[in-house]
Amino acid sequence: MSDHPVHRHDQADPIDEQHVRGKFASRLGFLLAAVGSAVGLGNIWKFPFVAGQNGGAAFILVYLGCVAFVALPALLVEFSLGRHCQTSAVGTYRQIAPGRPWWLNGLLGVVAGFVILSFYSAVAGWVLKYFVTGVTQGYSDFTPEASGGLFVGFINGTSGPLAYQFVAMVLTTVIIFFGIEKGIERTAKYLVPLLGVLLVALVVRSVTLPGSREGLLFMFRPDFGKLNAMSFVNAMGLAFFSLSVGMGAMMTYASYVDRSVNLGKTAVNVAALDTLVAVLAGLAIFPAVAAFGQQFSGGPGLVFVTLPQVFDQMPFGRVVGVAFFFLLFVAALTSMISIMEPVVTWLVDDLNVRRHVASVGAGAAIFALGVPACLSVTGDGLMGGIKIPFLGGEVTIFDFLDMVSQNIMLPLGAFIACLFLFFGWNRQRALAEVAGTAGNPHHPLLKVWYWCAVTIAPLGILTILVTKILEMAKG
Ligand code: TRP
């Protein structure tokens, strides 16, 4: 290896190994992949409605604070750890703290990825179904009387939702199969900008509809009176899920990034673009909902029941609807690959499985868990009758997987990662890693980051964890 340039970094892999592992070819590719991960269903069906309900622009201000002081610092913890060690999340903790149990947090992330993808892919399948419906027959069946029944009828089926979920998982697996540069980076480079263009077009369509003003007022009219302690907790949970923090997904992406990239700048860009998309999603949705006199809502009801009715009534609604569901599927797909990659990276880096085998194996295993998830979304599905005891109550398989992963595993994982920065790692190395070899490790904002990441961020995350558990225990 003497002919290779010597690496500045103490724990860097030899160049040869990096080559085998793969790498993002450009800074932009990494940025777009991370934005693709961050921008997902959360931005489009959660953020706009929660903002509207909790005081509009007042809530958005609180949200920005939570992004800046909790979610962004936590994202940078993941970025810096991942790039420093250039290996899986499990390997990262092992490398920095050999012989100590921190690596279990890496494993927790791998398990969380497995679990989240099992039900996230079911929902992605529904989005695909509504896209296909728009292409093949349009949305004219979705009258106010029929829309809800059509949706519930579909998700309670067996072969229909499973088939669409299968397709969503196959697409995810194929992208992962091709590796970082040819799979993930290439997908993000085409699809993320396309998502942006479509979103802007939808915003223009929506805000130019007569009667759309009420929708703007719903989402933006500042009402500081509606802010309370729970709005802070909600904003924090939302910020944190939206930036894909907590399971080592961003850590894994960063492990494929060149040392020269300034991670601090990249993270700020990811947070800004992610927030911009969330606000634009609200501008695309609520003005149109208002223009056609529909109820404001969020979640699956908004996307699969209300919006098809809006598309049914809107001039050129079929084209708009197809564009919307395509956009939503792209958002879901680029998030799915980021949820699956940590699982595959772990199989490759820690268990020496070849990437091709690892992707197909992980894809198949995740789909296998996805089957019970998909068939138990409501109590009326084929496996909806199976109940799992959870925090003193009983829940369906779908709800169990959803709640355990999002409300427990993710906050716990992020909390431990922040503690690790303080107790397990070295401050100087962390600051240098965030700056990158081309950046300034003495930038004053880096110190601000560090102190947020070891104080406010873990406290905020702990608050989410405790509140969510109490909330779930109440039923
Ligand atoms: N951020 C995505 C959304 O807003 C979801 C997501 C993708 C995610 N990867 C993640 C959440 C990793 C937590 C961890 O929908």
CA of 239 to the centre of ligand 1 (A): 10
Ligand 1 contact, 176 CB (< 6 A): no
CA of 44 to the centre of ligand 1 (A): 12
Ligand 1 contact, 37 CB (< 6 A): yes
The residue length of the chain stands at 475
Q: Give the C-alpha separation, 328 to 350, whole Å.
A: 34
pLDDT at 366 > cutoff 60: yes
Ligand 1 contact, 73 CB (< 6 A): no
pTM: 0.93
pLDDT at 12 > cutoff 60: no
3-state secondary structure of 395: strand
pLDDT at 192 > cutoff 90: yes
- With bands split at pLDDT 50, 70 and 90, how would you rate the model's confidence at 9? very low
| Percent of the residues in the chain that have a pLDDT greater than 90, as a whole number | 86
83, 40, 421: which is closest to 243 by C-alpha? 40
Q: Give the C-alpha separation, 304 to 302, whole Å.
A: 6
Amino acid letter, residue 13: D
CA angle 463, 466, 471 (to 5 degrees): 120
Instruction: Please tell me the predicted confidence (pLDDT) of residue 186.
Output: 97
pLDDT at 7 > cutoff 50: no
Residue nearest to atom 12 of ligand 1 (CA): 244
Ligand 1 contact, 247 CB (< 6 A): yes
Instruction: Please state the rounded mean pLDDT for residues 464-468.
Output: 91
The number of helix segments (H) and strand segments (E) in the chain equals 25, 2
Q: Give the C-alpha separation, 123 to 128, whole Å.
A: 9
Instruction: Please state the rounded mean pLDDT for residues 274-278.
Output: 97
Residue nearest to atom 15 of ligand 1 (CA): 40
- With bands split at pLDDT 50, 70 and 90, how would you rate the model's confidence at 392? confident
If one compares 442 and 3, the residue with the highest pLDDT of the two is 442
Ligand 1 contact, 41 CB (< 6 A): yes
